[in-house]
């Protein structure tokens, strides 16, 4: 640019004389100074290296719109700008991963435009990633980034992507859950910022034929890489069932190129330790299997259901990817489904471990011949033992069983979950309350008995009422159809058995059986089963008090007090859609800071109220929510702790409530359209 301007200035010297030349030079230097000042003022500066685009094939076509991308992993694109972008919230912890300071980002006038994809940062090379996927068990062919845009990689290193043309509602869910899942200690992609705009799109939220306009919003996602299982399926041969094939079928050299990039960049220890290519690839697949098993085991231990475990939503790094119709269980339900379109229950809570293994098998097929099928099958055989080891290890920590691994532990966990299912217990709150059960000690007196009774009562408060259980287990099938099935069972048991293999029929019969059981009073053995196992755990130990304190500490750091229940996200969404983003920001800081803090103590709640008060107050002050105050109406009734705004005390549905686990007030305030108590608010 400088050379061009100087050449233009030289022509003017010849034509217009010295005055014009001097004037031009002055203007030129003023422009340079302004550019330097503006550049210095920009706070969002990243040192991009974009390794993926250098090491993997890039589609050279600049044609806009969906098309078949053959022989390439990425295509260059230009992000579509949105109107009047502005921040809803940012995650300082996530932005720090790529070297950005949240305060500087918020103060940068161009911040929303850069992180919202409206302007391209210096060094950024926007691109769309091409991948395929098996969706609900069938190969769907080429998919790729339809609502996402790869912005580049920075040198620390971290990949960055920003979702585009998504609406505020779904973007808030994705943003909050990414950070809430991270706070729970589950491997996940991160969300750096959420930008909304005045651009609108039409969406039919409830799929009932009543579409409405919603704001376009952009989530900045951060991860070391967004390569997924489906990235390797672009080489797939024609599928036997659907006839579809990957767009890069027969481009085997690219498969090896992609494996080299992934292993060298993200699994360098495997690259260094294996000189033989096949052995390297087997070790790589085994590590992907191990990370996937750990990830899904952690999901199961916090009651998280992903909802869309297609192969294109499985990270090659074992990270939780794509927060769509996810959900955290309230009451424990093995068949919990969070995706309304999952009619078969393929992606239900209890199916997740098996589905992840199925997805790993599809990845193995996609890696052939780089990964010999016989070697891949041997690794897949290791999956369930590895998963069980991760799952049992974490469940033992949830139960405070830290020193001994007893053979009956697996059965104990199974029976606990079955009891929770039978009684409709809240998954999160029940595990949180178990730390209150004391270990049996010699000469224990009335004090321990009193604590045990209060702990047992607290656990019972997490259970559904008998009426709720009967309502939940009432078969939804037409009574006449159900009667015909029962008659069929008497006349032709083999035919009934064949019909029962169909999931919809099996669920109805299971509900009927449970409803029959509920007609009889539920007997309870109290906490004896747990205390017997604790006695074995503490057997032969001298300092019981120290061990008990360690056990409680580990349990409280493993069992979250709060998870992102649907109603919490919905409250934030409703406030944001009305222009109030403080709820989103407050929820974000709350989940990152206090998800494990506080205890469902059986002691006087007032003793912990001051600490809770201070932690929430500090969050409000840190976010500069000067218009909000914390009001404590009664030091002995923390259920009345709520947020007050300029208009005065908010209604229970709007206020930011904190209730003791299982309290009557918690159940009243947290009961929603699903008809069940949602536990702690």
Task: Write out the catalytic residue numbers.
Answer: 312
Q: How far is CA 583 from CA 121, 297, 461, in A?
A: 30, 31, 29
- Are 597 and 561 within 8 A, CB to CB? yes
Q: Cα separation of 30 and 23, whole Å?
A: 11
Q: What SS3 state is found at 132?
A: strand
Q: Tally Cβ neighbours within 10 Å of residue 629.
A: 12
Instruction: Kindly tell me the sign of the dihedral angle through the C-alpha atoms of 74, 76, 82, 84.
Output: positive
Contacts of 338 (CB under 8 A, 6+ apart): 305, 306, 307, 325, 326, 327
**639: which 2 tokens?**
């259920």
Measure the N-to-C terminal CA separation of the chain; round to a whole number of Å: 59
Helix (H) or strand (E) holding 35: helix 18-41
Q: Hey, which residues does 217 pair with through a beta bridge?
A: 166, 196
**130: which 2 tokens?**
């091409």
Q: Is the peptide bond before 265 cis (omega within 30 degrees of 0)?
A: no
Q: Cα separation of 136 and 51, whole Å?
A: 33
Q: Cα separation of 469 and 421, whole Å?
A: 10
Q: What is the DSSP letter of 284?
A: H
Q: What SS3 state is found at 566?
A: helix
- 22: left (phi > 0), else alpha (psi -120 to 50), else beta? alpha
Whose structure tokens read 């205390």?
531
Q: How open is the CA angle 663-664-667, to the nearest 5 degrees?
A: 90
Q: How far is CA 553 from CA 338, 453, 523, in A?
A: 32, 21, 31
Q: How far is CA 628 from CA 279, 590, 615, in A?
A: 60, 15, 15
- Are 270 and 281 within 8 A, CB to CB? no
Q: Cα separation of 81 and 165, whole Å?
A: 10
Q: Cα separation of 529 and 534, whole Å?
A: 9
- Are 643 and 625 within 8 A, CB to CB? no
Q: What is the DSSP letter of 146?
A: S
């Amino acid at each position: 640019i400088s050379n061009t301007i100087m050449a233009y200035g030289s022509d003017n010297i010849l034509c217009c004389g010295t005055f014009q030349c001097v004037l031009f030079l002055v203007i030129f230097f003023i422009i340079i100074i302004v550019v330097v000042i503006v550049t210095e003022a920009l706070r969002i500066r990243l040192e991009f290296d974009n390794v993926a685009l250098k090491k993997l094939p890039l589609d050279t076509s600049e044609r806009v719109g969906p098309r078949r991308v053959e022989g390439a992993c990425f295509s260059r694109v230009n992000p579509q700008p949105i109107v009047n972008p502005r921040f809803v919230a940012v995650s300082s912890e996530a932005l720090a991963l790529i070297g950005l300071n949240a305060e500087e980002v918020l103060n940068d006038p161009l911040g929303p435009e850069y992180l919202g994809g409206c302007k391209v940062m210096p060094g950024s090379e926007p691109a769309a990633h091409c991948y395929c996927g098996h969706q609900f068990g069938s190969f769907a062919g080429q998919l790729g980034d339809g609502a996402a845009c790869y912005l580049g990689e920075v040198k620390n290193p971290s990949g960055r992507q920003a979702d585009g043309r998504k609406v505020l509602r779904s973007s808030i869910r994705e943003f909050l859950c990414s950070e809430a899942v991270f706070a729970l200690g589950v491997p996940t992609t991160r969300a750096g910022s959420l930008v909304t705009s005045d651009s609108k799109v039409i969406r039919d939220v409830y799929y009932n034929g009543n579409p409405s306009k919603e704001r376009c919003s952009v989530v900045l996602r951060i991860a070391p890489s967004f390569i997924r299982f489906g990235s390797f399926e672009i080489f797939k041969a024609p599928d036997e069932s659907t006839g579809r094939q990957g767009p890069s079928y027969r481009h085997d050299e690219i498969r090896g190129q992609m494996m080299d990039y992934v292993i060298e960049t993200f699994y360098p220890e495997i690259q260094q330790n294996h000189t033989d290519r096949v052995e390297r690839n087997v070790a790589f697949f085994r590590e992907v299997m191990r990370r996937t098993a750990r990830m899904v085991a952690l999901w199961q231990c916090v009651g998280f259901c992903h909802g869309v475990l297609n192969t294109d939503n499985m990270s090659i790094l074992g990270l939780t990817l794509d927060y769509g119709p996810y959900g955290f269980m309230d009451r424990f339900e093995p068949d919990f489904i969070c995706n309304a379109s999952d009619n078969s229950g393929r992606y239900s809570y209890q199916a997740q471990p098996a589905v992840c293994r199925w997805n790993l098998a599809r990845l193995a097929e996609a890696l052939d011949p780089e990964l010999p099928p016989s070697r891949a099958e041997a690794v897949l055989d290791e999956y369930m033992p590895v998963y069980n080891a991760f799952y049992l290890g974490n469940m033992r920590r949830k139960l405070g069983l830290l020193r001994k691994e007893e053979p009956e532990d697996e059965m104990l966990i199974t029976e606990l979950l079955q009891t929770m299912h039978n009684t409709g217990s809240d998954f999160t709150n029940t595990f949180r309350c178990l730390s209150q059960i004391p270990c049996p000690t010699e000469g224990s007196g009335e004090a321990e008995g009193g604590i045990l009774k209060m702990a047992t009562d607290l656990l019972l408060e997490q259970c559904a009422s008998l009426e709720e259980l009967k309502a939940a287990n009432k078969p939804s099938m037409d009574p006449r159809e159900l009667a015909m099935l029962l008659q069929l069972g008497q006349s032709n048991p083999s035919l009934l058995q064949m019909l029962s293999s169909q999931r919809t029929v099996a669920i109805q019969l299971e509900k009927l059986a449970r409803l029959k059981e509920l007609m009889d009073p539920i007997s309870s053995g109290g906490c004896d089963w747990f205390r017997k196992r604790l006695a074995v755990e503490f057997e032969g130990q001298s300092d019981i008090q120290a061990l008990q304190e360690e056990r409680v500490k580990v349990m409280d750091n493993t069992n979250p007090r709060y998870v992102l229940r649907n109603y919490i996200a919905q409250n934030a969404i409703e406030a944001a859609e009305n222009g109030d983003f403080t709820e989103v920001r407050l929820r974000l800081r709350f989940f990152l800071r206090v998800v494990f803090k506080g205890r469902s103590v059986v002691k006087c709640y007032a003793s912990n109220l001051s600490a809770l008060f201070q932690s929430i107050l500090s969050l409000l002050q840190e976010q500069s929510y000067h218009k909000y105050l914390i009001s404590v109406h009664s030091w002995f009734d923390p259920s009345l702790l709520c947020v007050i705004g300029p208009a005065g005390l908010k209604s229970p549905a709007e206020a930011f409530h904190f209730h003791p686990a299982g309290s009557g007030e918690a159940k009243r305030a947290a009961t929603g359209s699903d008809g069940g108590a949602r536990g702690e608010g």
